[in-house]
Structures are given as structure tokens and as C-alpha cells.
Chains A and B, each alone.
Chain A
Amino acid sequence: SQKIEQNSEALNIQEGKTATLTCNYTNYSPAYLQWYRQDPGRGPVFLLLIRENEKEKRKERLKVTFDTTLKQSLFHITASQPADSATYLCALDETGTASKLTFGTGTRLQVTL
């Protein structure tokens, strides 16, 4: 069966450290993999997209890696800040056209002082 797995337990990080979140998938062949941020009671906000032929993507303090052999994406936030505290969702796009996104359950990140 198809599965997208993200750590269900909250990740607690001290301010200034690097947070690393994991997204593993089974029985999917995504053309793209996307990461979103979701704050409580709000809709997701797009952060980064990485294509199947890309290994790594960066945007400011964010970095995403994509290993299609391991079927895994890692999402890094460097120099984390309390304002980074939120739930982070990965989403798979098998079409490469954003016509159907399948989301993981998300990992809650808590950055403390």
C-alpha cells in the first residue's frame, strides 16, 4: 500500500541549532516533492519544491534533499528560531503539474530559547 511517513512525535530544538525533518514514502514515484509549513488553525504555506532529478535545493535558511533510491526527503532549517515553530508537511506530486498533491501527516517543530 502507499504510505507517506513523517515523524509523528514533535521535534524539540534549541534556538540556533539545525532542525532536520524526515519524509519517507512507499509505493509512490513522485516527480516533485514539496514542503509546506502549517500553523495551528491555518492553511499550509508553500516553502520549497524539489524535482526527482535534483539532489538538493536551498532557500535562505532552508535546505531540502531528495533521494529517490532511499525514497526519502530531508528538510533542514539552519539557525532555527522560535518563529520557525510550526508543523511541516511534505507533499508528493506524481504528475509534476501540481494537479494532485498527497500529504504526509506532518511533523511539529518546537524551537525553544
Chain B
Amino acid sequence: GAVVSQHPSRVICKSGTSVKIECRSLDFQATTMFWYRQFPKQSLMLMATSNEGSKATYEQGVEKDKFLINHASLTLSTLTVTSAHPEDSSFYICSAREPNEETQYFGPGTRLLVL
């Protein structure tokens, strides 16, 4: 099956700093990538949908100026958490979809801890 990687797997940062998370599709071209957030014992919540070469579409309640998404190529999308605060601590997971595919392939996730 299709493989999606994320980097870093874990990151600890100080409050007020920015953190960038990378999501790559390793063996396919992903026209669409998705960013989710998952708090402990909760479901995955879609944050935004990113299409290559265009602006991301954010879900209601997600601040686009705080969570910057760039999808500059068909194999790479980045999520930057700007001015991170402790409440942004969470598990961030990306996924990618191949054209004409009926499912999404998920990355291994990035654990963010903001002190």
C-alpha cells in the first residue's frame, strides 16, 4: 500500500515558538493531503485539506493564521504551528490520497508538546 511519512515524530518546544511538521507521500503523488489533530482518548479531527498548488481549506474553528499549511509539491505538505502554546500540545497526523482512490493513507503522526 501507499506509504506516508511524517517528520519529526516527536517535538518539544517552548511556548511562543513555531514548529514545522512535514508530511511526505513516498511512493505516489498526492494531489490532496489532509491534516488531523487527535487529543488523548478522542477522535481524529480534521483541521484542513490541502491541494497541491492552492490554498488550504480549513475546518470551522481552526485558525488559518495559526496553523499554516503549504503544499508546494505533489509529495510534500507542511504544517507550521505558529506561536505555539501548551493547549496546542497534541498528536498531529497527516494523510494523503492518490487521485481516484477511495481512501486516505495516514502518516505515523507527530507528537507535539509545548512547554
- A residues lining the B interface (CB < 8 Å): 4, 32, 34, 36, 41-46, 49, 89, 93, 96-106
Known interface pairs A41-B111, A43-B93. Does A98 touch B43 (Cβ–Cβ under 8 Å)?
A: no
Which residues on A sit within 8 Å (CB–CB) of B104?
A: 46, 98, 101
- B67 in contact (CB, < 8 A): no
CB of B81, distance to nearest CB on chain A (Å): 18
Tell me how many residue pairs across A and B have CB atoms closer than 8 Å. 55
Which of the four size classes fits the interface of chain B? 20 to 34
User: How far apart sit A102 and B109, CA to CA, in the bound complex (Å)?
Assistant: 18
Which of A44, A98, A101, A105 meets B101, CB within 8 Å?
A98
- B60 in contact (CB, < 8 A): no
Which residues on A sit within 8 Å (CB–CB) of B109?
A: 41-43
Which of B6, B46, B91 meets A101, CB within 8 Å?
B46
Which of A42, A45, A96, A98 is most buried by chain B, counting CB atoms within 10 A of its CB? A98
Which residues on A sit within 8 Å (CB–CB) of B1?
A: 46
User: Is A98's CB under 8 angstroms from B44's CB?
Assistant: no
CB of A9, distance to nearest CB on chain B (Å): 12
User: How far apart sit A100 and B46, CA to CA, in the bound complex (Å)?
Assistant: 8
User: Is A105's CB under 8 angstroms from B103's CB?
Assistant: no
Which residues on B sit within 8 Å (CB–CB) of A32?
A: 102
Which of A42, A49, A96, A105 meets B43, CB within 8 Å?
A105
